[in-house]
Structure 1
Amino acid sequence: MAMELFGHAFSSYTWKALIAFYENDLPFTFQSLGPDTPEIGARFGALWPIGKFPLLVDDGRTVMESSTIIEHLQLRHPGPVRLIPDNPEQAIEVRMLDRISDNYVMGNMQRVVANALRPPERRDAVEVENAKAALETAYRWLDGWMAGRDWAAAGQFSLADCAFGPALFYADWVHRIPEECANVTAYRARLLARPSVARCVDEARPYRSFFPLGAPDRD
């Protein structure tokens, strides 16, 4: 039975899982969630009432959360691109950078986006200011970390880069990477040039009007 991935092509965390599928050319059916696919939404809601996507269904087994989906793919559907190194010390570094991406880049980007989605009377300028300041701190830390590196961890494209691809793509839309963070800017460019990430960017282009802050005329 083919794997099914529930998500949306504009969703940052869906991208993270899609990159792993594309890296190893794994066969799957994409179940796109949206108002025009209520039957898919009903199935998804029955499988995962919390409603956060992506969600993987693999031979009757449901796997939630993008990092766990990538771990599952490597265990059950291994391919030539090893997204979590076999070396335990390297694997720790990869998982550490994955969490840094999700918590401090993706998470702060989403704080700004979530605020923009609220009714005007409920928006919080202080929340936005704090989230952007936290993003700036994350950029500056990452700039030092990426000095002399092509990829985020373990000297190879990994789970961490699956995370940073969408995180830096959208975070730069929310709060531009400072000019002096040249390592981060170059890393983002390498990520967007990676075929698996570029495919996600292209598949998401029809949905750019969904971005509540206005998608910039770039990327």
Structure 2
Amino acid sequence: MHLVIGNKLYSSWSLRAWITLKAFDIAFTETVIAMYKPDTRERMLAFGPTGKVPVLVDGDITVWESLAIIEYLADRFPDKAIWPANQAARAHARSAASEMHAGFTGIRSSCPMNLTKRFAPRDRGPEMAADIQRLQELWREARERFGGSGPFLYGEFSAADAMFAPVVSRLDTYQIDVDGETRRYMDAVLSYPSFVAWRDSALQEKWTLPHYEEGETAVEVFHFPETA
């Protein structure tokens, strides 16, 4: 299997596919294509029909969207329990993942994924506040109904956690005020070995996207690129 992704420092959709492969010990190779370069779209079109990433190539099969990649992996490796085994938990997890895929536009627009720094808290508007409230309600429901004794939304790490991993990073990066239960879940994701592996690799990248942090005040810096 071959996964084509964007900058690990910034590409939230790429993280979702990558962390699923890594978490469930599925062997793959990767190609990282730098975003916002003159040849970015051309390079991405060489792998998938939309000129976007992630793209998974498995022999003569090409899957070019993150949630579709996760579903393909769940079908391809039914023994991996990528989705929760319990039917009710699995239905809830798929609904939550789809809600993430289609919604939370306030978080997306106000807080792009950025692993280079941590930024000072500030008011990000009512749409962002509404998204945070809904996000915490959704996570709390999953944890209370299906979390059991595990640290993740449905107990063990699943595709739902992969879908929400970039949001977890955003809440941490922008120091969004959340309740204690939400923070404990965030800490579980941020310390999960597959996420740590992504972040460690991201911090080795040599390029940055300054427009991703316009209007922000950095309070911690984690990435010191040799070249921009």
Paired with 1:184 and 1:101, the residues of 2 have a C-alpha distance of 16
TM-score by length of 1: 0.75
Superposition deviation, residue 54 in structure 1: 0.8
Paired with 1:113 and 1:88, the residues of 2 have a C-alpha distance of 33
Superposition deviation, residue 26 in structure 1: 1.8
Aligned partners of 2:4 and 2:47 also within 8 Å:
no
Paired with 2:200 and 2:218, the residues of 1 have a C-alpha distance of 14
Cα 1:88–1:140 shift into 2, 3 Å? closer
Alignment partner, residue 137 of structure 1:
133
Identity of aligned residues (%): 25
Alignment partner, residue 58 of structure 1:
58
Superposition deviation, residue 78 in structure 1: 4.8
Could you tell me which runs of 5 or more consecutive residues in structure 1 were left unpaired when the two chains were aligned.
115-125
Paired with 1:214 and 1:48, the residues of 2 have a C-alpha distance of 37
Say if 2:220 is the partner of 1:217.
yes
Alignment partner, residue 153 of structure 2:
152
Cα 1:84–1:218 shift into 2, 3 Å? farther
Aligned partners of 1:17 and 1:54 also within 8 Å:
yes
What do the CA deviations read for 1:110-133 (whole angstroms, capped 9, x no partner)?
21147xxxxxxxxxxx9x523322
Cα 1:68–1:35 shift into 2, 3 Å? closer
Alignment partner, residue 6 of structure 1:
4
Could you tell me which runs of 5 or more consecutive residues in structure 2 were left unpaired when the two chains were aligned.
113-122, 223-228
Superposition deviation, residue 90 in structure 1: 2.6
Give the 3-state SS of the residue equivalent to 2:152 in structure 1: coil
Cα 1:15–1:216 shift into 2, 3 Å? farther
Paired with 1:77 and 1:173, the residues of 2 have a C-alpha distance of 33
Cα 1:206–1:113 shift into 2, 3 Å? farther
Paired with 2:85 and 2:34, the residues of 1 have a C-alpha distance of 38
Alignment partner, residue 122 of structure 1:
none
Aligned partners of 1:143 and 1:182 also within 8 Å:
no
